[in-house]
Structure 1
Amino acid sequence: MKKDSPTTINIARLADKTHHFEFTLDRAFFEQFDQELIPDGNVHVDVTLHKTERLITVDFDLNGTVRQVCDRSLDDYDQAIETHEQLLVRFGDENKELDDNVLQITPDAQTLPLAQHLFDFVGLALPMKKLHPRFQNEPDDEPDAKTKLIFTTRGEDADDDEDDSDPRWNALRNLN
């Protein structure tokens, strides 16, 4: 990660008040990370940073699209994302991550790098099941469709009574 990244904010020069920033996450941004989850995108980020003596609150509004691969057809498509996230940065003795969205930095820190957080926010906004738009309106389960049993732990005679089971289980069933 480059130190002069456009998503790095110089907090040393900021006064204790609210500040606004805008970023665009594009192919160059996503190529900075060694990953295959998001190869390309066009995401507009509005950042509202409120700085006080002891705490920095950073609100992110992300809107745009990212390139994805459909889980069903393996076709590329643009997945729309829209999310709001918040990052709390407090000042303390050492630099460490206290929670998913809570950081601690030293008071003499000059910059606040946001690239990894922005990438994580985009990744969290993606759906678990990535479907091309032509498949998104199809029903997952048709109520009248016959389902096919692929695997069962019971034997071939699944309709037989449970008398074939281990007799030790029968003794346990009677313990009511």
Structure 2
Amino acid sequence: MKQKEFNIPFSGLKQGKHNFNYQIDNTFFDSFGYDEFNAASINLDVVLHKTSTMMEVDMEASGTVNVACDITSEPYDQPISGDLHLVVKFGEEYNDEDDEILILPHGEHQLNIAQYVYEMLVLAVPQKRIHPGIEDGTLQSEVLDKLNELQPKEKRSNKEENDPRWDELKKLLTDK
């Protein structure tokens, strides 16, 4: 089973709330074969609320992952945060098809939350990764200089905008 430290042995716990804390670094993501992050420093708080018939697991994470900017490839620390609420019930067989309800077989004595933590954190990273220095103008990069150089120039004069090759087609639009 992946990430043994993410096993929560609930069978010995009394009913009520129990707190767990984890520090997550890049070795966690490496164990899933995920190599998008250069580094990771994330704090994860888990509250397990155990009742006689079920458990509720609340996870809250915050920290940073070091990623490459999509535009410049410059590495930067991307702040991330995520939270997840999971209901754990007991049934005939293991079933994790529902994102919010996990069914563990009767007699199970521990819960591994690694997969849930992994998905929550990977989804917390923005789809488009843009170095904060691009938006505030502080990032100096050869890629940015080249992009600025290749940016389309201001609009051409009106004379050039009327391309005679299109004039006949434009007449068709008006000749209804």
TM-score range, shorter chain: 0.7 to 0.9
2:156 equivalent to 1:157: no
Pairs aligned (count): 152
The structural deviation recorded for 1:137 is 4.0
> 1:80 maps to which residue?
79
Pick closer, same or farther for the CA change 1:6–1:158 going to 2, 3 Å. Answer: farther
2:47 equivalent to 1:38: no
TM-score by length of 1: 0.76
Higher mean alpha-carbon deviation, 99-108 vs 70-79, is at 99-108
1: CA distance, partners of 2:117 / 2:6: 9
- Classify the secondary structure of the residue corresponding to 2:45: strand
Contact conserved, 1:30 with 1:39, CA < 8 A, in 2?
A: no
The structural deviation recorded for 1:63 is 1.1
> 1:60 maps to which residue?
59
2: CA distance, partners of 1:147 / 1:55: 65
The Cα offsets for residues 65-113 of structure 1, whole Å up to 9 and x where unpaired, read as 1121110011111111122221111111110113112211112112111
2:20 equivalent to 1:11: no
Pick closer, same or farther for the CA change 1:65–1:89 going to 2, 3 Å. Answer: same
Contact conserved, 1:42 with 1:65, CA < 8 A, in 2?
A: yes
Contact conserved, 2:2 with 2:114, CA < 8 A, in 1?
A: no
Pick closer, same or farther for the CA change 1:33–1:39 going to 2, 3 Å. Answer: farther
Pick closer, same or farther for the CA change 1:98–1:71 going to 2, 3 Å. Answer: same
Contact conserved, 2:55 with 2:87, CA < 8 A, in 1?
A: yes
TM-score by length of 2: 0.76
Contact conserved, 1:17 with 1:52, CA < 8 A, in 2?
A: yes
How well do the aligned residues superpose, as a CA RMSD in angstroms?
2.6
Q: Which runs of 5+ in 1 are unaligned?
A: 139-144, 149-155, 165-172
- Classify the secondary structure of the residue corresponding to 2:97: strand
> 2:143 maps to which residue?
none
Pick closer, same or farther for the CA change 1:39–1:12 going to 2, 3 Å. Answer: farther
Pick closer, same or farther for the CA change 1:14–1:75 going to 2, 3 Å. Answer: same
- Classify the secondary structure of the residue corresponding to 2:166: coil
2: CA distance, partners of 1:147 / 1:88: 58
